[in-house]
Every structure is written in C-alpha cells, then in structure tokens.
Amino acid sequence: MRNAEIVRKTAETDIKLSLNIDGCGNAKIDTGCGFLDHMLTLLARHAGFDLEITCKGDTQVDYHHTAEDIGICLGKAFCQAIGEKRGITRYGSFILPMDEALIMSAVDLSGRDFLAYSLNIPTEKVGDFDTELVEEFFLAFVRNAEITLHIKQLDGKNAHHIIEGAFKSVARSLKAAVAIDEALGGAIPSTKGVL
C-alpha cells in the first residue's frame, strides 16, 4: 500500500493528514472551511485516494493559512506515498466538463515542481472562501509533491463550477499518473533511471 501520514503544527495551523493513494475514494475532512472540505472530499473521490484531514487554523483571520498549509501537507504526503515511483504511469491528463465549465489538467510526476495555472474565476469569493486561495493551494501542493501540474480553463462562467471542475480534473489526472503500468515491470519511467 502506498500511503503516508503528516503532522504539521505551526503558530497558524495544526494539521493531521493521512493519505492512501491505493484507496477507494473515502474521505473524512474537517478543515474549518466548508468549501475547502467539499473540494478535498471530491478530490479524494475522483482520484480514488483515501484521505483524512483535520485542521485547526487561524480562520478568524481568513482561510489563507489553512488552504496553503493543507496544500503543503497533502503534497508532502503524496510525495512520500509514491516513493521511488517504480512502475507508475507517471503522466496523466483529463478534460472535465462541469456544467458550463470545461477544465483541462495535465500532470507529470517528474520530481520537478512547476504549476501553470490559468483559471479565470469571475468572483472573489465562493461563500466565505477567497477564490484566489485555489491557486495558493495548488502551488503549495505542487511544490511539496514535486510534480509538474498544468490547470487550464477552456470554458466556464460560474465560480463554483470552475473551481470544482479544476479539483475533479486534477484528481483524475493524478489517478492516471499514479496507476501502475504492469508493462514496466517495476522500472522507473525515465531514461535517467530516477525521478
């Protein structure tokens, strides 16, 4: 089983996270932010990851530290869980329709962190969640997961649909990338012999 547990406590957040990338899509999420809980729950479901997160953050300020620090922890857990990356497919991409929104994502589990983010979210908030924190979350995740991730909005007007489409699309791309390719026989999918 490819899994990891992360505990991270700072002056701003106290996070406990467990991740099993060979799971069934089960999630138990309590971040103190309902919208973020919703996004992480559907990410787990569509990636097929089992994910548990509890976070006590300084939400009296806003959700910035909570979103960023959960991204850090999830990225660290993902990096640990995939280990040496032997036998994985390595790449994944998915174009996901969410009503009027259409979101494309592509991932390379390359060992190099890079985020190309082009969502045009038309509102500053969804509920009490600042929509600019979507990029902060994915940036923190990518840096700590050590992956290359592209997220591109092809269409969409509704902020909730655009963000949900992004989380679902990324989930499906990650699911494809971590899948085991039996033809590789456990080899690392790189001519360098290491990722």
Sort 142 into a burial class: Cβ within 10 Å, 0-12 / 13-18 / 19+: buried
Cα(88)–Cα(22) distance, rounded to whole angstroms?
12
Distance of alpha carbon 70 from alpha carbon 13, whole angstroms:
9
In whole angstroms, give the CA distance from residue 56 to residue 58.
Answer: 7
What single-letter amino acid sits at 151?
Answer: I
pLDDT at 1: 83
pLDDT band at 102, cuts 50/70/90?
A: very high
Residue 27 has pLDDT above 90, yes or no: yes
Average pLDDT over residues 79-84: 97
Q: Check whether 24 has a pLDDT greater than 90.
A: yes
For position 131, what pLDDT does the model report? Answer: 98
Q: What is the mean pLDDT of residues 83-103?
A: 97
Please give the pLDDT value at position 177: 98
Give pLDDT, residue 193.
85
Contact between 110 and 191 (Cβ < 8 Å): no
Section 90-112 average pLDDT: 98
CA 104 to chain centre: 14
Q: Which helix (H) or strand (E) holds 167?
A: helix 159-178
Q: Is 152 left (phi over 0), alpha (psi -120 to 50) or beta?
A: beta
Structure confidence by residue, pLDDT tens digits, 128-172: 999 999 999 999 999 999 999 999 999 999 999 999 999 999 999
pLDDT band at 114 (very low <50, low <70, confident <90, very high): very high
Count of CB atoms situated within 10 Å of the CB of 84: 10
Average pLDDT of the chain, as a whole number:
97
Split at pLDDT 50, 70, 90, the class of 30 is very high
61: three-class secondary structure by DSSP:
coil
Distance CA 71, CA 145 (A): 9
What kind and span of H or E run contains 141? helix 133-145
> How far is CA 67 from each of CA 8, 38, 168, 191, rounded to the nearest angstrom?
13, 13, 17, 36
Task: Categorize the per-residue pLDDT at 23 as very low, low, confident or very high, splitting at 50, 70 and 90.
Answer: very high
Please compute the mean of the pLDDT values over residues 44-61 and round it to a whole number. 97
> How much is the pLDDT for 145?
98
DSSP secondary-structure letter at 121? -
